[in-house]
Amino acid sequence: MNFIKRVLSTVTGLFVFLFICFFLLVIIGVLAGASSKDSIIVKNNSVLDLKLDFPIEDHQAKTIFKEYPFLDEHEKNGLFNIIDAIHYAASDVKIKGISIDNNMIMAGVAQTKAIRDALLKFKESGKFVVSYGDFYTQKDYYLNSVADTIYMNPVGVMEFKGLSTERLYYKDFQEKSGLKMEVVKVGKYKSAVEPYLENEMSENNREQITVYLNGLWTEIKNEVSQSRNIPVEELNNIADSLLGRTAVLAKESRLIDKIAYHDEYVSAMKTALNVSNDKKLNVIKIADYSNYSYSKRLVKTSKNKIAVIYAEGQIIYGEGDEKNVGQGIINKSLKKAREDDKIKAIVLRINSPGGSALASELIWREVELTKKIKPVIVSMGNVAASGGYYIACNADKIFAEATTITGSIGVYGTLPNGKALADKIGINAEQVITNKNALTYSFFEPLNKNQRKFIQEGVINVYDLFTQRVADGRKGLDQEGVKAIGQGRVWTGKDALNNGLVDELGGLDDALMYAAEVAQIENYKIKEYPVIEKNLKELIQKLGIIQSKEELLQEEVGIENYKILKEIKSMTEQKGIQLLFPFNVEIK
């Protein structure tokens, strides 16, 4: 009897707990809905605080909950929300200037350039841009170098040293552990799988990394040179000798203007705005201002629309979500946009290293169907490589930033193999087959000649199709020409313009301007896709009521070790032939 009482008590407790959780979620949803963007107040004589210490994505996708619409989310803090807010601030009489304060910017080089360009445009209004840093990373300084006055903490540190990247190689690890990757690839520069085949970097790989790193560094130096009036040769010397590593050295090198503490920085802004030192400076955060300005900058007089479809993340076969590009959500978005009579043109914004060859082909097909009805223009972000380039190649026009990484026209396939590991620990796999090719692959057996031949054939077929798709989509390039600049090699946007892989250098604004031009419209609204559907369980996980296994792993092994585990897991889970950027690059 006591046992039954304990069971009933436990069940009752669970029901009460779940009810309380649900009730709290309802209250949170109602409160969130009640706090409308109109409640954000911008005071006179305000400074816009451009603190970008959160992950910046091109698009903050609209998230909807079918069962609980009051929980729908559509925050306006994506890259282009930030840029639009900066543009709006230029004409907002309440905003007197922008403060870039202590950033550790979490964005790619092309994204950072896009924000920097928006700040340059903002300065044309005559309003000030100032910056302060306790610590300037190289990307922070690239952004902040646009400021009228750059402040640095007296004991602050600055990175200005040139670009670098590092790649781990696993060949010896495979031999020692007995766990290896079977690799089939096409393209001498397709180096995503090189770490499984070699112990050191190949000359081809070193060549392409050197070329695109120098390309990015050249762009950064040129822009810093223009903003700070420091010759490029002098900037190289500063980087080589680390002459910006302290506040004193940075000032002597003219990288910064003033050495001061943060309170002195704030006081200087007060003086510029005629605010007495005992009064509080009116500051509004960029995330709040983005939400505030969004509805105010809509063009309400036009029925015309341009769709912007964001393809951000690795390309996977399936539906996709806010972190991954699936043919499901992208193709639905393309279909909705082309069937909406009010939408006159489509801009496909790509920020993807590629992934599934099949999903890339399916998206390519939907673009092909769509451009027969409406113009499709591509805008490339930080990276639009391999499968990311595949889904771009047949657009009517392609825009890329000078610092975009693109190309990587190559193909590979990988299969994990544990034969040697199994032998070491005493596992033997035996197979029974009805036909000689019935067993196409076993984790416990190395690929035989026949299996490798068929996989190689599939990889070559995909490469031929890929290069033909590019040749058909790019005017002035035939398939042989594509193969000559393909081979898995990556290019900066500037180099891609020279070899015909892109049509023009520019950002999303330039792509939208061109889209409006070819659609022959002047005023228009922007309709953003995709819309992500979620369920309540995902929301509970997001709130931390249920912690995901990924979060637990990060806590246990640390973020850096988790990245390595995630990369190895990703490689073992890839199904089918892949069109993926050669490697996971972290430029430092």
Instruction: Write a three-state SS string for 374-398.
Output: CCEEEEEEEEEECHHHHCCCCCCEE
Is there a catalytic annotation at residue 386? yes
Top mean-pLDDT range of 27-41, 89-103, 189-203: 89-103
Angle (deg, nearest 10), helices 232-241 and 203-228: 120
pLDDT at 135 over 70: yes
Q: What is the pTM of this model?
A: 0.81
Kindly report, residue by residue over 377-394, the tens digit of the pLDDT.
999 999 999 999 999 999
Cα–Cα distance measured from residue 548 to residue 537, given in angstroms and rounded to the nearest whole number: 11
Closest of 112, 54, 38, 64 to residue 529, by C-alpha: 64
What's the pLDDT score for residue 193?
85
Distance between start and end Cα atoms, the chain:
66
CA dihedral (564, 565, 566, 569) positive or negative:
positive
Higher pLDDT, 582 or 130: 130
Residue 572 — very low, low, confident or very high, per pLDDT cuts 50/70/90?
low
What's the pLDDT score for residue 217?
96
Beta-strand runs (E) in 41-186: 46-49, 62-64, 95-101, 128-136, 149-158, 180-186
User: Which residue out of 127, 190, 221, 419 is catalytically annotated?
Assistant: 190
What's the pLDDT score for residue 321?
86
Closest of 334, 485, 316 to residue 388, by C-alpha: 316
Please state which CATH number belongs to domain 301-580.
3.90.226.10
Q: Where in the chain is the domain with CATH 3.90.226.10?
A: 42-161+242-293, 301-580
Is there a catalytic annotation at residue 190? yes
Kindly report, residue by residue over 500-549, the tens digit of the pLDDT.
999 999 999 999 999 999 999 988 999 999 987 766 665 565 555 455 56
User: Which residue out of 352, 379, 386, 408 is catalytically annotated?
Assistant: 386
* Fold classified for 42-161+242-293: 2-enoyl-CoA Hydratase; Chain A, domain 1 (3.90.226)
Top mean-pLDDT range of 175-184, 193-202, 243-252, 293-302: 243-252
Of 64-73, 98-107, 493-502, the range with the lowest mean pLDDT is: 64-73
Mean pLDDT of 140-150: 97
User: What percent of the chain has a predicted confidence (pLDDT) above 90?
Assistant: 59
pLDDT at 71 over 70: no
Indicate the SS3 state at residue 30: helix
CA dihedral (186, 190, 196, 197) positive or negative:
positive
User: What percent of the chain has a predicted confidence (pLDDT) above 70?
Assistant: 80
What's the pLDDT score for residue 435?
87
Closest of 312, 494, 302, 472 to residue 388, by C-alpha: 312
pLDDT at 398 over 60: yes
What's the pLDDT score for residue 36?
46
What's the pLDDT score for residue 213?
94
